[in-house]
Amino acid sequence: EAQVTQNPRYLITVTGKKLTVTCSQNMNHEYMSWYRQDPGLGLRQIYYSMNVEVTDKGDVPEGYKVSRKEKRNFPLILESPSPNQTSLYFCASSSRAKGDTEAFFGQGTRLTVV
Partner 1 sequence: AQSVTQPDIHITVSEGASLELRCNYSYGATPYLFWYVQSPGQGLQLLLKYFSGDTLVQGIKGFEAEFKRSQSSFNLRKPSVHWSDAAEYFCAVGASNDYKLSFGAGTTVTVRA
Our finding on whether 101 is near partner 1 (CB under 8 A) is yes
Among 42, 62, 98, 114, binds partner 1 (CB under 8 A): 42
Among 1, 40, 62, 114, binds partner 1 (CB under 8 A): 40
Report d(CA 64, CA 47) in Å as an integer: 8
Q: Which residues contact 41 (CB under 8 A, 6 or more apart)?
A: none
Distance set, CA 69 to CA 49, 103, 112 (Å): 11, 21, 27
Which residues of this chain interact with partner 1, rule CB under 8 A?
A: 31, 33, 35, 40-45, 48, 50, 58, 90, 92, 94, 96, 99-103, 105-108
